[in-house]
Structure 1
Amino acid sequence: MARQRKNLPESSKETKSRNSSSSNGSSSPNTKIPRQKNVFHFWKQLVLVIVLGVAIIFGYMGYLETRVNTPFDNKKVVARTGLNVPEQFWGSYRPGVYFGLKTRHPHSMVTGLMWYFPKRLRPGGDGIRHWCEQGDNLSKYGWLQHDGSSFGVQDIEDGPFILTTSFVKNPGGQNGGEWTARISVDVINKYKDMIDPTEQVSIIWYAALDAETEGFIAPTNSATEVTGIRGETSSLGEFKMKLFPQTGEIDHESFLSTVSPGLNLLKETVISALRLAQDNPKGPRKIILGGQINPVGVERKDPNFVAIQVTAKLPFSIDVVFESKTVVNRKDKLVGELYSESLEWHQSRFNQRFEDTFALKSKGYNQKQINFAQAALSNMIGGIGYFYGASKVQSFYTKEPINYWRAPLYTAVPSRSFFPRGFLWDEGFHGLLISQWDLDIELDIIGHWFDLINVEGWIPREQILGLEAVAKVPAEFVVQWNTNANPPTFFLTLQYILDKYEEDFTNERLAMLERLYPRLQAWFQWFNNTQIGPVAGSYRWRGRDPLTDRELNPKTLTSGLDDFPRASHPTELERHIDLYCWMAVASSTMARLGIILGRESFLKYQQTADYLYNNELMDNLHWSNFSERYADYGLHTDSVKLVRPKSLPRQQNQNLEMIRTVSKQPEYRLVDSTFGYVNVFPFLLQILEPNSPKLGKILTDIRDPNLIWTDYGLRSLSKNSPLYMKRNTEHDPPYWRGQIWVNINFLAVKALAHYSKTEGAYQDQAKKVYEELRKNVVDNVIRQYYKTGYIWEQYNDKTGEGSGCRPFTGWTALSVVMMSEHF
């Protein structure tokens, strides 16, 4: 509030001067009036300065508030998308559902599959499958083959039944082409003698529009055909979908045409529309969809959700054909035998391309191992989604979370069931496989991620875009803070791309890198500005909670290694060895890219790289002479444990959650009592010189079974570390405290390959460990895949069994790269 200026009282002296004579006997009223005016003028100017200052301060604060959701002001990296890339327009871009197709358009119509077995349907719709849910406890599901552009084949084992879903795209027309999807359902061979021969399946195929999609959809009724769907949208033009039963005996079919409150509630809309019906009083009751339903109290009148249900005896298969009105001179529908032939051709072509890319057959792998590798790659490629929406973000200058700008994201996802959205540090690992299969898909993914960078140079580390994505995320993880980083793994992807494809860059690819470069510069600078450490050359992850008394060791989610033990008491004086190494890799990659693009700025990045790759600097900051290992530095004590407080007598509803107690005060030191992934980052990211004795010590340590070596890969934390397999809270089981993670094992195998091929004192030692570790990791992942039906998030360090979520065909799919040895 501006201060209120008071009226100035006249002094007695001023009054006297107005009424008395001057020394020369004349009246001199003007001798005091200028002083009064000057005082008034002074206060007026002061108030104006204060008001202006306050306005500037508030204006600047308002400016700072807007920076977190202001886009980076430069050319977008993605130059062509949507209908400008027709071969990528349609795809299985809904990784969170078992089977569904949509387009790369911000407001795409979505299509998808639900199913259930009528005799096994339970109250409340339990038994209807739609979203990939761990709680469905399916024996197995995932893509067997998927090329990322034209076709895919997937098997889903649901109890004693097996569903095979596939699709083939057909180019043509002006609206992204056409496609056919096939859903086949049968009883698994080993269960055929146990299943009632009258068993039925209900297949529900649907189309839905979001609230902003321009257009309409409606059922097409016919007395002689299964009901279909027709419609028109701004991106698809006029279209129709027809259903063609192929095998099996249809018992009945029904449809639903209604308004769904959102794409995240399609299954609930179906459940609420199921009805019981009888053809005759003596016949069995049938479960049908309710037809045309106009919900009460809904503003939208036109239906945005149409579903077709077909119930048939097993075995049963049906083709869904999408046709665009803009396709002319269509000879034959891609249905029936013609579809089978087309799918077979695509599969044969996929097999040859897979061998040309990874050469597993020529390396001596058997067909079972190759089938695993094809499934791992295909689940990575088939797990690429297209999302549109706005993240929730917050900065120090905003009182509440605010929306980021609305934007698309084309990205792979770590897990279709548990993490069906984009994660920044995961995606850099994904790119190491995707770029080997299809470089242009990977460049497109990178472009979409960097088009999400804001004016500060920050990218939200977790992308939760659209209703379907938000519905899968606990509320506490939705908001992204602009102080928090994530490992810049995209520099690893760019390193690989420059190594393999530099001689093959087309003008279009070079132009994309030109558009990308300023955004990489902003990203790199953001790290240097916000994650800088307390002393020269050091770096520190932000985002640790120094006030918590519930966590045994406050998590460092921003590092990607979550609960890996760091300094027990977070302070601003910490320095983290893994972030130091990431920044070394980032600077060297920026320098190399700058040289390729002819940028003079490469020199400053090269100087930074030379500075950080100086092993003497790294040793001064992070090497412990006592334990002979690299380590974080911070305020630390190992004497911590979780204890449940004693209850107070006669008090009700007490919070007796376990809290952390400290029996020995922390001190500033290197956190060298812990040994695990963080401690070997100078080796993992190949910062260590090949003749460094410290490299020899790390090679010896990682091979020690009493530390992190196992028969299944490197465990994340050594068995003799104080927090090995300890819960971080009473509700949080250990995560990076002993389990085997394939992404870090991949980095280890990659580093071992590098040091085994680089002349140095430890070349032979590296080669020996390389052969052992690579075999252990690959063999165990394959063994668990065939034992459980899944590729897993992590693996048990004692038994090798899969743990965490499944399927996890994000970075665990890097097993394929280890098999091919294309590092």
Structure 2
Amino acid sequence: MARGERKRRSGPPADAPGLRASDKGVQGAMGRRREGRAGMGPGAGSRRGPGGRGAGGRGPGVAALAALGLALGLGLGLGLSWRGILAWQRARRAVTLHPAPPALPPNSSSALAAPDLFWGTYRPHVYFGMKTRSPRAPVTGLMWLQQGAPPGMLGQLRHTCEQGDGMGPYGWELHDGVNFGRQRLHDGSLLLTTEFVKRPGGSHGGDWSWRVTAEPQTPEGSVPPLLSLFFYVATDGQGTLWPDPGTGGQLDGINGHTEELGDFRLILLPPTSAKGTALKHGSYNILWMPSPGLPLLTEAVKNRLNRWFQHRPPGGSPERYLGLPGSPQWEGESPQPGHTVQGQVVVQQLTLKPPFRVELVFESGSVGWGETRPGGRLAGPVLSQALDAHATAFTNRFEETFRLEARGLSSGEQALGRAALSGLLGGIGYFYGQGLVLPDPGDEPEEDPAPTPSLFPPAPLFTAVPSRSFFPRGFLWDEGFHQLLVHQWEPQLTREALGHWLGLLNVDGWIGREQVLGDEARARVPPPFLVQRAAHANPPSLLLPVIRMLDSGDPADLDFLRASFPRLQAWFSWLQQSQAGPVPLSYRWRGRDQAAAGLLNPKTLPSGLDDYPRASHPSTDERHLDLRCWVAFGASVLARLAQKIGETQAEAELADLATKLKDENGLDSLHWAPDLGAFADFGNHTGAVRLARGPQGLVRVVGRPPPRLQHVDALGYVSLFPLLLRLLSPDSPHLGPLLDLLSDSRHLWSPFGLRSLSASSPLYGQRNSEHDPPYWRGAVWFNINYLALGALDHYGRLEGPHQAQASQLHTQLRTNLVGNVWRQYRDTGFLWEQYSDRDGHGMGCRPFHGWTSLVLLAMAEDY
């Protein structure tokens, strides 16, 4: 997972300086005169990829020529240089969508096309909330505040998932990805259980209901503090909301209307005991205001709390509490009937002492209102019955799918498996917005020290996220691993996710590796890391679930792959052309950090293995082993797909490329390092580097011997890629040495899984800069370990001299991995981003229900 642009901190909402729309990019590029020879960048429309099709297709090639002709005439008239004209063209291409037919039908996310997926928990960055799959979706959510802070002070208002908020374990323990979920949130002495269930009907996505149960976790005899729950609904740019006043500050409901939902109503029902008995007395407050923007909603609510309210339970002593205004008074200019306000928010605050439970009901006007709707209102006993039925169905389906109980796994390990799946499904989000892109500078050096990014066209993205607290947005290479598990459970979700990712393809075949779409996503990313560069690739891991789809036998999967093939082919063609290396059939990751004074080893963020040691001095002579293996893997997968759908010309070209890249003699000549006894990168390298204290902090010092072109002396994950992607024959002379490297505790083997860098490496456990601790320098990462399990299982089933060793290593590695993840989950309640190779402890961010959720497939021995 490329974490360089996933800064280990969150930042305030901000727009990147110098932001411009793509149509303003013309003026910006033409205003910067550049002189020198003209050069076409990688991925230009004239290039042809496997299958004989240009990466951009015939249409954009003609359009590019026309645009270039116009630019030439315009540029020469203005005295613009050739270099400036080509820079302008590259800037335009970077933000031009690919013309191939979409992989998904038009309006596939709408309520009419996919009513079962229209509503969902598609706001993974908040503890509990729902929205629709629409660009300007109304959103709903929950905040809470434990009252009782000293006078003049405000306690912790919980809303968005934050890495450092001190929350105890939290996450979905059950979530089916479509209709139902149950989550537990531990907040100090408070346990909140949130549940939701959807019910189909009407033409706008149906109804849904929430149940929130609050339970004190205080010593017996102690009095829990007052608890305030804040339920809100917000429109973003279109639609109206009208609170329906009740008595005592409690609303009878919130009426609303939007273009995609039609008329709807939200009702917060009176609180009850845990058994549903109406015994609780609550205090109510209301806020109705113009939307400040969703990223600012927490602060807006916090700023409107004051201490002018008392909670007066029957027979109890009054207590003061922080409350919102007491009646539904509109804070802005008075809206008139029929007048649309640009975004509104209604918040209903409920305050009382736990234990209690409360229900929020959403009713679609296209179904009817209240008890008259089919099945009655989705509340009380009706809601309890629905929740119980969905929980039972989930548990039964889970065992039928993964068979953990039948495999003899303990009840605790089964609970871990359910949480892994549920956390991943509950972390699926729907995003819409415009990303920031810098074009590929081509072969020319970038002369502008601060080039201005352009805005990519508005686009949706339906994707799982790695971590709700730290990375609540889409990452390209993570998503391929996510969908391995999702497809096993709900293939429709995988087709939707892959179709959305392929919808982000630009005219050259590039997809940005990190997607920051929409104001809420942008608010979580520091401005320097918002921009994607159109020259930078990412591992093509989306092809991992493509294999699953090819093997599934599901006609819907094959139909989707047939529709997706032009885009998959364009994406792969761009990858293998734009990242071509210095010699035939070699490849080089573009975008390595230059040899900055403060970096021990310049990072390679596009590879996904950020600080994994590469050549010490970046150069165009580099040959990256993992990238060559990814391209060989991709060619094989797409050749198989082309054969399946009858694309004979593409099949022949892709199969030919795969054969050449999998040729072991060719691989040896470029990447086998006899001195290491392993495969390796090649580049301008020396091991004589260290960080030393200087006037400005730690700086890199290069000693002797000086760098020279050679194999890079790093043993680790990269060394294993020919094995991980199953490119070696079972009788390969190199398979044995790789298995020995993998199983040697002096190198990669640990009791907790395969470490990312050999314990004997000089850079093992070393920080890369003063403020950059080790990341892929020893820690155990589950995604690579999962690939290793699959490879060992694969070679353990093939006859050959290493069959028995591979099979034995598979069993031992699976035991180590699953056992450690289970122990850490049992002790902390979290899945973690990575695990220590020294003691197994979880490290990095948490909860991390991204590729660590593959522990479920490992338990099921499903590779």
Are 2:416 and 1:372 equivalent residues in the alignment? yes
- The aligned residue for residue 214 of structure 2 is 185
Map 1:213-612 → 2, pairs under 5 A:
214-223=238-247, 226-227=250-251, 228-244=253-269, 245-247=271-273, 249-278=280-309, 284-290=319-325, 291=327, 292=329, 294=331, 304-328=344-368, 330-331=373-374, 332-396=376-440, 399-499=451-551, 501=552, 503-506=553-556, 509-600=557-648, 601-612=650-661
- Aligned AA (1:314): P
- The aligned residue for residue 641 of structure 1 is 690
- The aligned residue for residue 144 of structure 2 is 115
- Quick one: structure 1 residues 302 and 105, their matched pair in 2 at CA, closer, same or farther if it must change by over 3 Å? closer
Indicate the SS of the match to 1:82. coil
Once the two structures are TM-superposed, the CA of residue 123 in structure 1 deviates from its matched residue by 6.1
Are 2:800 and 1:760 equivalent residues in the alignment? yes
Once the two structures are TM-superposed, the CA of residue 367 in structure 1 deviates from its matched residue by 1.5
- Aligned AA (2:126): V
Distance 1:303 1:419 in 2: 27
Alpha-carbon displacement from aligned partner over 1:767-817 (angstroms, at most 9, x marks no partner): 000000001000100110010010000001111000100000100000000
- Quick one: structure 1 residues 684 and 467, their matched pair in 2 at CA, closer, same or farther if it must change by over 3 Å? same
- Aligned AA (1:593): L
Are 2:223 and 1:196 equivalent residues in the alignment? yes
Alpha-carbon displacement from aligned partner over 1:607-661 (angstroms, at most 9, x marks no partner): 0011111111111100011111110000111111112224xxxxxxxxx222111
- Aligned AA (1:630): F
Once the two structures are TM-superposed, the CA of residue 121 in structure 1 deviates from its matched residue by 7.7
TM-score (norm 1): 0.89
Once the two structures are TM-superposed, the CA of residue 224 in structure 1 deviates from its matched residue by 7.3
- Quick one: structure 1 residues 369 and 439, their matched pair in 2 at CA, closer, same or farther if it must change by over 3 Å? same
- The aligned residue for residue 8 of structure 1 is none
Once the two structures are TM-superposed, the CA of residue 497 in structure 1 deviates from its matched residue by 2.0
Alpha-carbon displacement from aligned partner over 1:723-779 (angstroms, at most 9, x marks no partner): 011110100100000111000110100100100011111000000000000010001
Once the two structures are TM-superposed, the CA of residue 510 in structure 1 deviates from its matched residue by 3.2
Distance 2:282 2:267 in 1: 18
Q: Is the 8 A contact 1:218 1:303 kept in 2?
A: no
- The aligned residue for residue 102 of structure 2 is 76
- Quick one: structure 1 residues 118 and 51, their matched pair in 2 at CA, closer, same or farther if it must change by over 3 Å? closer
- The aligned residue for residue 838 of structure 2 is 798
- Aligned AA (1:205): F
Distance 1:122 1:781 in 2: 43
Q: Is the 8 A contact 1:69 1:404 kept in 2?
A: yes
Distance 2:296 2:778 in 1: 38
| Number of residue pairs the alignment of both structures matches | 760
- Aligned AA (2:655): Q
Distance 1:302 1:337 in 2: 38
- Quick one: structure 1 residues 122 and 444, their matched pair in 2 at CA, closer, same or farther if it must change by over 3 Å? farther
Indicate the SS of the match to 1:476. helix
- Aligned AA (2:220): D
Alpha-carbon displacement from aligned partner over 1:469-525 (angstroms, at most 9, x marks no partner): 1111122211000000111001111112212x1x3324xx43322221111111111
Once the two structures are TM-superposed, the CA of residue 88 in structure 1 deviates from its matched residue by 0.4
Are 2:122 and 1:93 equivalent residues in the alignment? yes
Q: Is 97-106 or 112-121 further displaced after alignment? A: 112-121
Q: Unmatched 5+ residue regions in structure 2?
A: 1-29, 31-72, 274-278, 442-447
- The aligned residue for residue 41 of structure 1 is none
Distance 1:52 1:283 in 2: 77
Distance 1:744 1:758 in 2: 21
- The aligned residue for residue 166 of structure 1 is 195
- Quick one: structure 1 residues 693 and 300, their matched pair in 2 at CA, closer, same or farther if it must change by over 3 Å? same
Distance 2:311 2:582 in 1: 81
- Aligned AA (1:629): A
TM-score (norm 2): 0.85
In angstroms, what is the RMSD of aligned CA positions?
2.3
Alpha-carbon displacement from aligned partner over 1:328-363 (angstroms, at most 9, x marks no partner): 451411111111111000011001111111111111
Distance 2:75 2:523 in 1: 51
- Quick one: structure 1 residues 280 and 755, their matched pair in 2 at CA, closer, same or farther if it must change by over 3 Å? closer
Map 1:712-723 → 2, pairs under 5 A:
712-723=752-763
Distance 2:721 2:581 in 1: 17
Once the two structures are TM-superposed, the CA of residue 316 in structure 1 deviates from its matched residue by 1.3
Larger radius of gyration: 1
Q: Is the 8 A contact 1:724 1:738 kept in 2?
A: yes
Distance 1:176 1:412 in 2: 21
- The aligned residue for residue 680 of structure 1 is 720
Q: Is 58-67 or 489-498 further displaced after alignment? A: 58-67
Distance 1:237 1:293 in 2: 22
- Aligned AA (2:525): V
Distance 1:49 1:767 in 2: 64
- The aligned residue for residue 822 of structure 2 is 782
Distance 2:844 2:74 in 1: 63
Indicate the SS of the match to 1:250. coil
Q: Is the 8 A contact 1:673 1:722 kept in 2?
A: no
Q: Is the 8 A contact 1:204 1:310 kept in 2?
A: yes
Distance 2:590 2:452 in 1: 20
- Quick one: structure 1 residues 121 and 91, their matched pair in 2 at CA, closer, same or farther if it must change by over 3 Å? farther
Structure 1 segments, 4+ long, off by >3 Å, are 47-62, 120-126, 278-284, 295-303, 396-399, 665-672
Q: Unmatched 5+ residue regions in structure 1?
A: 2-46, 647-655
- The aligned residue for residue 182 of structure 2 is 153
Once the two structures are TM-superposed, the CA of residue 665 in structure 1 deviates from its matched residue by 4.7
Once the two structures are TM-superposed, the CA of residue 286 in structure 1 deviates from its matched residue by 2.7
